[in-house]
Amino acid sequence: MLADYFARKNLINKACAWEAKQATMLDIAGQHTDNITDSGVYTMRYMEAYMGGSLKDCALKKPADKIIPQLRVKYMHAIVTADHNSVREKVMNWAAGYEKEGKVAKAKKRKA
C-alpha cells in the first residue's frame, strides 16, 4: 500500500524499497485475538514498541482483565491532557468541577 503511494508520486526508488520489505507481526504477550473492544489499547502497545520501546516493555505483564482497565485510563489521560488537544481546557475544567462536587458530596455524607 505504501509502495503504491510512492509509485503514484513517481518516487520509484522508495516504491521499490517498500515493495521489497516483508511485514512482520509483533507478538505481544497477553494479547487476546478474540477481544475487539480493546483493539485501541493493543494498537497503543504496538505504537510504544514502534516508537523505540522494546517488546518486553509492551508485553502485558498482568492478566489482561487486570491491566486493560489501567491502560485505558493511561491512554485516555495522555489523549485528554495533550497540549494539542483543542478541547483540553474545557475537559480539564469539567473534570475539576466533577472532582469538587464529589468531595462536597463526601463531606456532606460524613456530616449526616
Where residue 31 falls among pLDDT bands split at 50, 70, 90? low
Per-residue 3-state assignment (H helix, E strand, C coil) for the chain: CHHHHHHHCCCHHHHHHHHHCCCCCCCCCCCCCCCCCCHHHHHHHHHHHHCCCCHHHHCCCCCHHHHHHHHHHHHHHHHHCCCCCCCHHHHHHHHHHHHHHHHHHHHHHHHC
Global pTM?
0.51
Question: Average model confidence (pLDDT) for the chain?
Answer: 78
Q: Please state the rounded mean pLDDT for residues 89-96.
A: 90
Q: How high is the pLDDT of residue 90?
A: 92
